[in-house]
Structure 1
């Protein structure tokens, strides 16, 4: 009964928000340089510059640091971004590493959130998963402002995903390890976090699917970009082939819905494959660079290889190609109303890029192990 009233209230609030945001859209217009678009362009540019600067500082820090061994460094109170940067942090996506993690640590330091009554990592994870529901509903509307608000909620959910890790470390670890990015595997909390992340990702993909269907209907059943292949030999008897501006046959409305569904499935498989491979290589590099080797010669080699340009390049490429990065890029594409184009080109180039990065990482990892006689 209570849940029905809550859903009714939420639907009413969503309807009011859509009406108000439609008025705002009509006021500012859909021009390329409307207020909304200028804000999105400006924020994107500032964040991109910030990421470049932080990547450069990370590279400089790695050149100066020693390998972080299994023994915690001398503990000093407070959070120190670069001193606490782990192999996982060096390979994590830009948004999580450069924004969400520091902000989560700052939030904890300011509020002592992890020590509040009733707070646990699982509670935080489940809350983060639940707010993906209204975010997906907003993303699936036909109003651009509502879509962008939905994207902001999804990004807040990613920050909450960093908060649950901070809460776990503050409640279960000691000393400097409280502030070091790391995954505690094979625990109930790790599984809860995994399934909450999975649910949120599926919610986003559902919203993206609805958005692309709306764009398809606006374009009279045609995709926003030309598809360079023929689609489905068996067409609906009431539909007829369409011709693109170049005279090429393109899928009809029913065929395009199938193409769209296949793209979503392909992207889901790509995101999961990328996440699994990222997780595997993160663990393998941790086993090489976050352990204490027995001889001074091996330790010297270990430090030299950690500081090498090849190692930094591999880490940086995984920042771009892990599953969370692919979802973050989809957020950006949705903010620019370019989801179809993004998924189309990700399907074309994402899989070869992932296979190439996997091959390079395997070769590099083998070379590192051989160098240090690991």
Structure 2
């Protein structure tokens, strides 16, 4: 019934429009974020003046304006108020959509101030349970059930944002930060990993029970290459469609191939997660946490266009962005097509981004730590 009321083609059109709106909104917010960083005081640097020239031999100082005094959106829900290293590297959906929604929910329910029995770790554990239910729905043949599963996984990602928000509010921390090595850091990371594993297992079981098909258009079975013939286990695995070009054969994709594609995509997310957390930690150490280094140099590096672009790329290739795109593919019933499209190509973007980040880290270290002009 639900599937008939909202067919896949109609859902795809609506989601395409929503995706376009979200992309425009995120690009607009990125522009505002860059302008906010350039023109206003930053909380992470403890001084009241701004260096307009990067050279340490001659500094031109100007008074900084306070962004909170000029914005009409309260900083309690405004994602632009407290820029940090992690805020610049968090994916767009979490930063510009789920983040403000978490703040609104917290203000409405008083989670941080009144519901003290509800700890951030309890919120983390709760979204693991939701992920388990969502994974079960992803194994269903019915598209409507799988869409409900995707909605549950989006709720899981929202709660993953909420636990961090509550933890920061109770510690009176402004802006996104990674407290590397703390108990909450590890609990949040492990719960996030378990939720992703549930999602990938659910997709794997669905594709195993409903294997996608690949076609060999206009090619007689007898002339197919050996590796393609191996995929045909019996005559019931072949679908024949008569076309103007002859007969189109469609064979089921082997389970081994499905495991390979999902494994390669999962590997991308693991590598992306490790690299993403690594660069957040490195940038935080050099720019936010090391007060022994010159504050004006740290601020100049943070405000540089190179740093904004480099961190902005991580908004796109971090594991949360991968999950949002995969969720969209499942919702539109394009799961296999998406996985096939990125299971190799995604590594190229990841390697290029990591290489550029390594180069930038060395530049920042030379400029901030060693005092060299770059």
Q: Report if TM-score (shorter chain) is over 0.5.
A: yes
Distance 1:237 1:37, change over 3 A: closer
Aligned-pair CA distance for 1:276: 0.5
2:361 is aligned to 365
Listed as ranges, the gaps of 5+ residues in structure 1 are 1-22
| Equivalent pair of 1:270/1:350 in contact (CA under 8 Å) | yes
Which segment is superposed worse, 75-84 or 205-214?
Answer: 75-84
1:299 is aligned to 295
What pairs with 1:258-273 in structure 2 (closer than 5 Å)?
258-273=256-271
Work out which structure has the larger RCO, using CA pairs closer than 8 Å and 6 or more positions apart in sequence: 1
SS at match of 1:131: helix
1:13 is aligned to none
CA deviation string 1:291-324 (max 9, x = no partner): 46557xx433333332222111111110111111
| Equivalent pair of 2:178/2:281 in contact (CA under 8 Å) | no
Aligned-pair CA distance for 1:142: 2.1
Measured in 2, the distance between the counterparts of 1:311 and 1:47 equals: 24
CA deviation string 1:44-68 (max 9, x = no partner): 2222222121111112112224554
Query: TM-score, normalized by length of structure 1?
Result: 0.78
Measured in 2, the distance between the counterparts of 1:211 and 1:133 equals: 15
Aligned-pair CA distance for 1:363: 0.7
Measured in 1, the distance between the counterparts of 2:231 and 2:28 equals: 53
1:205 is aligned to 200
Q: Does 1:317 align with 2:313?
A: yes
2:100 is aligned to 102
Q: Does 1:183 align with 2:161?
A: no
Measured in 2, the distance between the counterparts of 1:138 and 1:112 equals: 32
What pairs with 1:327-346 in structure 2 (closer than 5 Å)?
327-346=323-342
Q: Does 1:25 align with 2:25?
A: no
Q: Greater strand share, 1 or 2?
A: 2
Distance 1:49 1:214, change over 3 A: farther
2:189 is aligned to 194
| Equivalent pair of 2:313/2:353 in contact (CA under 8 Å) | yes
What pairs with 1:79-158 in structure 2 (closer than 5 Å)?
79=76, 80-114=78-112, 115-158=114-157
Which segment is superposed worse, 184-193 or 197-206?
Answer: 184-193
Q: Does 1:256 align with 2:254?
A: yes
1:44 is aligned to 19
2:39 is aligned to 64
Aligned-pair CA distance for 1:69: 3.2
Aligned-pair CA distance for 1:38: 4.0
1:12 is aligned to none
Distance 1:223 1:148, change over 3 A: farther
CA deviation string 1:181-227 (max 9, x = no partner): 1122223222221221111101111222234345525x4xx3799xx
Measured in 2, the distance between the counterparts of 1:224 and 1:350 equals: 26
Distance 1:104 1:352, change over 3 A: same
Aligned-pair CA distance for 1:145: 2.4
Aligned-pair CA distance for 1:90: 0.7
SS at match of 1:130: helix
Measured in 1, the distance between the counterparts of 2:21 and 2:99 equals: 18
| Equivalent pair of 1:239/1:252 in contact (CA under 8 Å) | no
Which segment is superposed worse, 40-49 or 145-154?
Answer: 40-49
Mark the structure with the bigger radius of gyration: 2
Aligned-pair CA distance for 1:243: 11
SS at match of 1:216: coil
Aligned-pair CA distance for 1:364: 1.2
1:290 is aligned to 288
Q: Greater helix share, 1 or 2?
A: 1
Measured in 2, the distance between the counterparts of 1:293 and 1:117 equals: 33
Q: What is the aligned length?
A: 335
Measured in 2, the distance between the counterparts of 1:190 and 1:250 equals: 51
Which segment is superposed worse, 123-132 or 137-146?
Answer: 137-146
Measured in 1, the distance between the counterparts of 2:154 and 2:89 equals: 19
1:20 is aligned to none
